Structure 1
Amino acid sequence: MCALRTQFRYLNPYELHKIIINQYVLKQPEDIKLLQRNKSNDRTDYHVLVDHHRFLWEDNEPKTWEEQFAKRYFEKLFKEYCIADLSRYKENKVALRWRIEKEVVSGKGQFICGNKICNESENLRSWEVNFAYHEQGERKNALVKIRLCPSCSKKLNYHHKKREIKRLKKQSKYKKKKSDSKESGSEDETIVCDSSEPESSESRRIEADIPETSNETPWEEHKPEVIKSREEEMEDYLQDLLI
């Protein structure tokens, strides 16, 4: 043992490292298993999202930091259209999720078919789906929209047909103005009311009983008096004497 210590004393760090690796890793690999850390209980952000993610967050405020983290991730999703997994459509099982930023930029789910393995971009149709799912031991429903190509639409409607969303065609302004002018021309009838009925005696009595209002206001009696200066009073006094 002392000889080994003296041997280690005169070795540089690299040579010492090679001796230890050759002795414990290459010749006796079972001895270092006790030094390895147990990774079975390790949790990453992905595990936290899997445990606390919700398809729709209601007004309930998150109580723990895991729920806050899951809700912050939910707020970054785009919830106009969904992405679907139709691999088990014959079993009447369809998986839906919201779109991420990368899919929104590429047009996936809106201008490209919403099936995750389909890239068709022509003749897309919009469907309204009542998505029923289980979350945290509860059964929930959500009304979502999804755009699919004709072949994927058949898979979605394999058991029962969903409600299709269609856009109404806008009429041209010329036709709209023309129809408005026709309607206004057919209904241009003026109604003249004859107001030449004789006044009744009661209305005359009411008019007679109403007193005439004077233009004088009660505040005129309380107007402030104009105070003249001493010079003005002397001028008035002299004028009176001359007259």
Structure 2
Amino acid sequence: MDQWKDFFLTDEALGTFVPIIVYWVYSGFYVLLDRLDGYRLHTVDEEKMKNLVSRTTVVKGVLFQQSIQALVALLLLRVTGDAGESGKTLQPPLMVQARQFLIAMFVFDTWQYFLHRYMHHNKLLYRTIHSRHHKLIVPWPFGAMYNHPLEGLLLDTIGGALSYLFSGMTPRTSIFFFSFATIKGVDDHCGILLPGNPFHIFFHNNTAYHDVHHQLHGVKYNFSQPFFIFWDKLLGTHMPYTLVKRSDGGYEAASAKKQ
């Protein structure tokens, strides 16, 4: 019993499982707000009418993907972890960790942008793989990681591994980075404009920005995820939006003229 306890308290285990726990807790928070149409970009009726997959199927798909991701993450963190004499991971100064965060964000965004964009422009890949994610025309919090297993491996798992390796972060730093990336990904798919949401204040790549991508008129735009939008801006795939008030008091993200 003590061996299992010791294992789950290691940086490698925490870096693997904490982001998964964060995913379900943060998603659950938004599901509690599900019926507040005044904060939703789409009404509950729109979700039921437009989405092509059930919530149960989404949850099962995410759990399967997370099981694969956990195996890869645990192996990667085990192989690359650098422990000192105490058995604890040696941590660099905070400024070094901040730089590692920024590098990891850039690598993650770059990998996801180009692979994500290619999956849209390659008809075979879109039809057989990426279209599964777009069955959620109305994004849903638990659906942030609802992908084809191969896409989940390529886009999220390998993308996360590359950001971890290129940044040089330790397993302990990865706990915070991947938890942050998880929260950001869920927030982008939550479909809810919560007043005072810091992600909407500090990031242009937010819930409304990604919602445009899930609509038919925006499916070839706004590929950037999960942090910045500079690749969309640089490569001409940026579609701005305006928030238009609905009759129920809520807002929807309407595309503006493409820049």
Whether the TM-score (by the shorter chain) exceeds 0.5 is no
Instruction: Specify the TM-score bucket, using the shorter chain as the normaliser.
Output: under 0.3
Relative CO higher for 1 or 2, CA cutoff 8 Å, sep ≥ 6?
2
Q: TM-score, normalised by structure 1?
A: 0.20
Q: Which is higher, the Rg of structure 1 or of structure 2?
A: 1
Q: TM-score, normalised by structure 2?
A: 0.19
